[in-house]
Every structure is written in C-alpha cells, then in structure tokens.
Amino acid sequence: MRITLGEYIFDISTDENEKYYKNERYVSEGCECDGCRNYELAVEQVSYEIREMFKRFSIDIKKPAEVYVNYSQNNILCYGGFYHLCGTIIKRESPWEIISETKNSAVSHLNENRMIWLEKSFRIAFQEGCALLNENSPLPCIQMEIAAYLPWVLTKKNIYEC
C-alpha cells in the first residue's frame, strides 16, 4: 500500500505489520524499567493525529523495538527509540547528518528539526538501516525513529528528573 507522509513516500505492507505487531510483546514485557513502563502508559494520551498515523501504518504504539529516556525536564521525558515496519521507502528526506567522516567510518547525527513533526512533542523519521532485527522482524524492514516528549505518568517518583 502506498503511503505519503511529509516528504516521504512508502510502499507498506499493513497486513504484515498487523501480523508482526499482534505477536510482538509490549514494551513493559521486554523491560521493566520505569522509563519503559512510563512510555507504555504515556502513549495512551497522545493526540488523535499521532494515533491515526500509527494506525495508517498498522504499528502498535505500545510495541517499539527499542525505547529509551534521554532526559527529563519538568516531568516531561525526552524519549528516543524506534519501531520496525514492513515495506520500502520509495522517496525519502534524510534527517541524518554526517558529522565526521573518515575512510572507514562515518558518525551521523539525527537532526530533530529535519524529522517529521506530527506535533511539536512527537517527531518521526524513517530509514532502511534497522537495528536489533530478530527472526520475527518483518521483511523487508524499515525503521521508524521517534523523538517524543511524554509526561511522567507513573505514581512513583520520577528518577530521571535531576
């Protein structure tokens, strides 16, 4: 299925994504740390637009392949992470910038301002290079990177706040 989003055009298999996300585990089943448990609850409160975007791709927002807390400020947690989905990128706008390059390696940086802003607090970008693939990963696989600012919603103390 062809999906256009911002500067990107995709060919996405929503059927494969549905199968994959049905069998994947919730983020809190894979890791019990506060950051992951908070993510799973906080995404219940994201806006209609964000939920619709995930629905278009048939991605379960509670099942990222990886999610982590970068920092917390005023009880808003800055999350990084990514989701896997089945399909190919037909046209892309790369938000990755190469900072330094030698003959053998390149260091790149994800420029949040060049990601797709679903809204100010939720940005996404896509790439073909996928991390943490396993035997269940959908193929061909693309990776949706996120930068999300989500509130602390657990009743316990926020250990990320300094």
Q: Which positions lie near Zn ion, rule CB under 5 A? A: 31, 33, 36
Closer of 90 and 132 to Zn ion (Cβ)? 132
Identify the CA nearest to 137 among candidates 16, 15, 26.
16
Could you give phi then psi for residue 94, rounded to 5 degrees? -80, 125
Closer of 58 and 158 to Zn ion (Cβ)? 158
| Nearest-approach distance from CB 124 to Zn ion, in angstroms | 20
| Nearest-approach distance from CB 71 to Zn ion, in angstroms | 15
| Nearest-approach distance from CB 127 to Zn ion, in angstroms | 23
Closer of 31 and 89 to Zn ion (Cβ)? 31
Closer of 86 and 146 to Zn ion (Cβ)? 146
Here the tokens at position 31 are 């890791």
| Nearest-approach distance from CB 70 to Zn ion, in angstroms | 13
| Exposure class string for 101-136: b at 16+ Cβ within 10 A, else e | eeeeeeeeebeeeebbebeebbbbbbbeebeeeeee
Distance CA 116, CA 136 (A): 27
| Nearest-approach distance from CB 73 to Zn ion, in angstroms | 19
Closer of 28 and 121 to Zn ion (Cβ)? 28
Q: How many residues does the chain have?
A: 162
Note whether 78 and 72 are within 8 A (CB). Answer: yes
Residue 92 φ/ψ region, left for φ over 0, alpha for ψ in the -120 to 50 degree band, beta for the rest? beta
